[in-house]
Structure 1
């Protein structure tokens, strides 16, 4: 199974947050990323924030064995 992730370093921020969040499903990923954005960065849970998180999500690259 390929996991999706969001890397906080992809968002401009003065605090230089280096958190990366991984999940198996998009809904789990977005929920965790939104909770991080609220708790750490002071954002509000809005449809725009969730859309931005969906747009920023990426697929994990598998390492060669």
Structure 2
């Protein structure tokens, strides 16, 4: 498996988070993403939450430009 990433810019949040992170291993990325989600977005670190985060991982590296947000596309 190559590099993995997760990009907060793709998901709505009150803080309008612009963080994107990547790592060479799923475990390293999971730990960083969970720490960020707990500290910044006040999520609870549970096994269920960790599984949800894992499902959001994408292969490659995050784009330089902010990706389109689902709520932007829906509202036009």
Question: What are the Cα deviations for residues 8-38 of structure 1, in whole angstroms up to 9, with x where unaligned?
Answer: 1222212110101100000000010000001
Q: Name the structure 2 match of 1:12.
A: 12
Alignment TM-score, normalising by the size of structure 1 = 0.84
Alignment TM-score, normalising by the size of structure 2 = 0.73
Q: State how far apart, in whole Å, the 2-side matches of 1:11 and 1:52 are.
A: 13
Q: How many residues align structurally?
A: 61
Where do 4+ consecutive residues of structure 1 move more than 6 Å?
none
**Alignment RMSD:** 1.4
Q: Which runs of 5+ in 1 are unaligned?
A: none
